[in-house]
């Protein structure tokens, strides 16, 4: 396969697909969609019980905010926010859910940490709704998946660390 012009990643690279998680570039493929040939990046996501593949059109990589994992400083900043940060908690469930969804879609580790901290803080005051519980779990998964990649720790150990940080937080 010829090299795709202007591509900033290659097969075997670990990338973050916001809202989905950390995956490895398995291949770059050409596929015909309708009558047009397009190039796709195939990301492989391995979970504890399953694996899945996602095909992202190369010309949409920027729009979906595909990126490299954060640096250690970015993970430290997210962890510091979990311990000391003041989350914004909107009073309206609808506004809060929209804001959190937007932050998760941004995909940067700091935004994911903000959602996780806000939902943890809210849960300490009143039980989360079913959808907010799912969003909390997703934020926890996204943060730990990326941070364990950067820190070279197991996701299970990192999740324990994150939950301890949240429990010791001054706003919890």
Measured from the Cβ of residue 38, the count of other Cβ atoms closer than 10 Å reads 15
Residue 3 pLDDT: 59
Residue 25 pLDDT: 96
- Please count the CA atoms within 13 angstroms of the CA of 91 that sit on its side-chain side: 0
Alpha-carbon dihedral sign for residues 123, 137, 97, 21: positive
Nearest to 42 by CA among 13, 1, 6, 2: 13
Residue 1 pLDDT: 44
Residues 112-147 as b/e (b if ≥16 CB within 10 A, e otherwise) read: bbbbbbbbbbbeeeeebeeebeebbebbbbbbbbbb
Residue 6 C-alpha from the chain's centroid: 25
The answer to which of 31-35, 69-73, 81-85, 150-154 has the lowest mean pLDDT is 31-35
Query: Which burial class, exposed, middle or buried, applies to 156 when counting CB atoms under 10 A from its CB (0-12, 13-18, 19+)?
Result: exposed
Mean pLDDT along residues 37-60: 89
pLDDT tens figures, 106-142: 889 999 999 999 999 999 999 999 999 999 999 999 9
Residue 34 pLDDT: 86
pLDDT at 48 over 80: no
pLDDT tens figures, 54-106: 999 999 999 999 999 999 999 999 999 999 999 998 888 899 999 999 999 88
Domains in the chain: ranges and CATH: 1-68 (2.40.10.170), 72-168 (1.20.58.1290)
Look-up: residue for tokens 């990589």? 61
């Amino acid at each position: 396969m010829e090299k795709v012009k202007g591509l900033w990643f290659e097969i075997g690279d670990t990338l973050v697909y916001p809202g989905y998680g950390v995956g490895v570039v398995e291949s770059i493929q050409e596929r015909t969609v309708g009558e047009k040939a397009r190039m796709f990046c195939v990301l492989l996501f391995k979970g504890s019980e399953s694996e899945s593949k996602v095909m992202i059109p190369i010309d949409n990589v920027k729009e979906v905010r595909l990126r490299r994992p954060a640096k250690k400083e970015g993970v430290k900043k997210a962890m510091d926010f979990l311990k000391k940060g003041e989350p914004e908690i909107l009073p309206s469930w609808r506004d809060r859910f929209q804001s959190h969804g937007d932050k998760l879609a941004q995909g940067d580790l700091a935004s994911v940490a903000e959602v996780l901290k806000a939902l943890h803080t809210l849960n300490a005051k009143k039980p989360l709704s079913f959808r907010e519980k799912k969003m909390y779990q997703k934020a926890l998964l996204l943060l730990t998946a990326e941070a364990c990649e950067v820190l070279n720790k197991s996701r299970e150990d990192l999740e324990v660390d994150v939950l301890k940080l949240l429990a010791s937080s001054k706003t919890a």
